[in-house]
Amino acid sequence: MSKDVIIACDFPTAEQTLAFLDRFTGEKPFVKIGMELFYAAGPDIVRQIKARGHRIFLDLKLHDIPNTVKKAMAVLSGLDVDICNLHAAGGLDMMRAALEGLTRPDGTRPLLIAVTQLTSIDQRRMEQELLIPRPLEDVVMQYAANARAAGLDGVVCSPLEAGRVHERCGADFLTVTPGIRFAEGASGDQQRVTTPARAREIGSDYIVVGRPITGAQDPAAAYRRCAADFTGR
């Protein structure tokens, strides 16, 4: 699995998203479509971006009873995306059902990765709101191990956790990591950030980058800089 940059296309409309992608000439970045765009523009925006030749991470973070998630994943699998995800907090049976739903009759399927603990949840919230009295990092590692046990391909995690996830779950277990900033950039609402080069050193397989690229004056140049720093090529 080659290392790559995934651009988080957090735009409210299909028009804005396609206009943004028009600015990339000669390259077809891997893009992430999240809830905002999917709920606004529906499955058609996925088909349109796919038809332009981009790989797609559909970031809808499913979390429901196993049967419902299985059927929803079967629908998503028909969209021919490259990566789907769900919440590991849904449990082992939900994750196994999701994999079944995602697998097409010919045996192929998109990669499936799990969100461990959201990066917006800190130790205090986990203990006081969710009543989980354990160190946050232990919970992240346990959820990653559960995802591995269920047969998933990897997790979404902080780039700072990627090395430990690989130690616990194996080098081939994917770590897809948001929270990336250029050294001189603003971190915005992200709490734990690192640079593309540092993410490579720690072991991220894919970095998810939104505002440092979507908010840049020249997004294609920012993307190329990010890709060069991350892949070392």
Contact set with ligand C5P (CB under 6 A)? 8, 10, 34, 118-119, 156, 178-179, 190, 208-212
Residue 79: CB minimum distance to ligand C5P, A: 19
Q: Is the CB of 95 or the CB of 156 nearer to ligand C5P? A: 156
Give the Å distances, CA to CA, from 200 to 47, 190, 207. Answer: 31, 19, 9
Q: Tell me the residue nearest to ligand C5P as measured from the CB.
A: 210
Q: Is the CB of 77 or the CB of 214 nearer to ligand C5P? A: 214
Q: Cα–Cα–Cα angle for 144, 147, 121, nearest 5°?
A: 50
Give the Å distances, CA to CA, from 74 to 69, 110, 117, 155, 171. Answer: 9, 11, 25, 20, 28
Quick one: tokens of 142?
A: 């346990």
Residue 28: CB minimum distance to ligand C5P, A: 19
Residue 209: CB minimum distance to ligand C5P, A: 5
- Residue holding tokens 């346990």? 142
Residue 222: CB minimum distance to ligand C5P, A: 11
Angle between helices 92-102 and 136-150 (to 10 degrees): 40
d(C-alpha 116, C-alpha 85), whole Å = 11
Q: Is the CB of 74 or the CB of 132 nearer to ligand C5P? A: 132
Q: Is the CB of 16 or the CB of 190 nearer to ligand C5P? A: 190
> For this structure, is 70 an active site residue?
no
Q: Which of 3, 61, 70, 71 is catalytic?
A: 61
Query: Which amino acids are annotated catalytic?
Result: 61
